[in-house]
Amino acid sequence: MMTFSRAITLLLTVMLTTAAVKSEEPNSAPNILLILVDDLRTELGCYGIEEVHTLNIDQFAETALLFERAYCQMAVCRSSRLSFLSGLRPDERRIWANEDVRPSMQDIEFLPAHFRNHDYHTLGFGKIAHGGEEDPRCWSEPHQVPENRLYEYRTRAGRALVKKVKHEAAEAGRPDPFRDLPEKIHRGMPWEILNFPGRDTGDEQLADMALAALERVKEKQFFLAAGFLRPHLPFVAPRQYWELYDEDNLPPPGLVSAPEGSPQLISNRSRELLRQYRGLPTSLPLDPETERKLVHGYYACVSFIDAQIGLLLKGLEENGLADNTIVIVTSDHGFQLGDHGMWGKATNFELSTRVPLLIRVPGSKASGKRTASLVELVGLYPTLCEIAGLTKPKHLQGDSFASLFDDPGALLTGAAFSQYSREGLQVTAFERKISATRNGGTASRASSAIEHCLTTGRTHGRRKTSQRRKTTPSMLSDYPVC
């Protein structure tokens, strides 16, 4: 008969042996690669726009779940990013304010920090939050930015033009045209064709930094975020990407003015473009040649960033990480290229609030499929927690859409919410899916004392976007610097 002491000894031996075996097993928890692209519209090949050259993203879409109707919660850089990184809607902590709101969010565990606190090695490169407002609690290593980051906003040609404009004003006895603008937006032309060889732009440097990090941390369980700046203004890209497009044959915007009967209050006045850059007309509309150059520059930047994303995805493969890494490709918001007579974001129109969203989950039955379900970026935080098997913080306000990876055909919700604030008034866009199966064949209408329901669509010479009902009361204000 086995004695009690011998039984205890045997049990301890089994437990220690089991622990030793487990410690030798490779970590089965998935890594995370979050790729953020600034100001990216859904005009990609995989979204049906053949004129745009995005070979790498298109190939990635063949292995990912593509979200056809994903929306940000506020179409401006800081607010959108803080919303989905925190899992909070913009109203919760005044995330819509044009100021650093991190002091009011010290009790909030951001998405990368949550993974860090669950034993992930977290790394951040480039624009993840906004400007220099990265939360150090998010990163296992100090957040890094490319050496040439500021060069992206103030190119050599841009700096030369600023100097010339200032000199001419002084010679003529006129005030400095930049006197009321912060130094960081003393910018020149809104586009530039780069002719120098090598990988010297900030986004190229960022891709190289992220690739080196993948090699360095491949034996760890990691969360790596890479935030590319392009295609944010100014539209700066190497010549080879400009040469992918024939400027004379680029289609113009399909809708060049706001919907008939809509209030002037909905306009962003294109302030980001007209206030921060030179060499342009002082008012709208722009001349056709300038419009074509801007659209050309935007597309060139999209193809440029597509190439950098391709390098990161290739790096995953070469380091043997692709089969155990969840990869997300998305943007903070869209961008209007003359649509409704506006340039930039900071509106509640479809092309500002809708974002590309592609997520690859290794082993998912949704790989290579598409979903028409409405989803919100604020739901990305709980979604990644659910897929990775992490507990979800109680403060999260977005809804997980992880179930779509089991059933891409499901329609999880009938609404997504976007807003834009101006001078303290919260502007809310109510997104309602038009569906006979969900809404009895009619679109529900959100009520408001100052309601303006706009059904927006756009052909851009190619296609019409998904229709949504919108409630867009708004007030005008200066466009925040992004």
- Choose the catalytic residue: 130, 296, 340, 460: 130
Cα distance between residue 85 and residue 87, in whole Å: 6
d(CA 87, CA 140): 20
Separation between Cα atoms, residue 45 and residue 43, nearest integer Å: 7
CA 136 to chain centre: 20
Question: DSSP letters of 163-219?
Answer: HHHHHHHHHTTPPPTTTTS-GGG----SEEEE---SS-SHHHHHHHHHHHHHHHHTT
Tell me which residue of 172, 299, 199, 200 sits closest to 241, measured CA to CA. 299
Which of 344, 303, 391 minimizes the C-alpha distance to 114? 391
How many Å apart are CA 137 and CA 166, to the nearest integer? 42
Beta-bridge partners for 421: 426
Query: In sequence order, what are the beta bridge partners of 375?
Result: 70
> In terms of residues, how long is the chain?
482
Start-to-end CA distance of the chain, whole Å, equals 77
> Which residue blocks in 333-414 are alpha helix, DSSP H?
350-353, 380-388
For this structure, is 453 an active site residue?
no
Q: What HEC string does 412-466 produce?
A: CCCEEEEEEEECCEEEEEEEECCCHHHHCCCCCCCCCCCCCECCCCCCCCCCCCC
- Residue identified by tokens 């994303």 is 309
Q: Which of 77, 138, 301, 482 is catalytic?
A: 77
CB atoms within 10 A of CB 10: 11
As a whole number of angstroms, the distance between CA 47 and CA 54 comes to 10
Q: Is 130 a catalytic residue?
A: yes
The Cα–Cα gap between 324 and 437 comes to 37
Closest CA to 73 of 471, 439, 377, 358: 377
**Which residues are tagged catalytic?**
77, 130
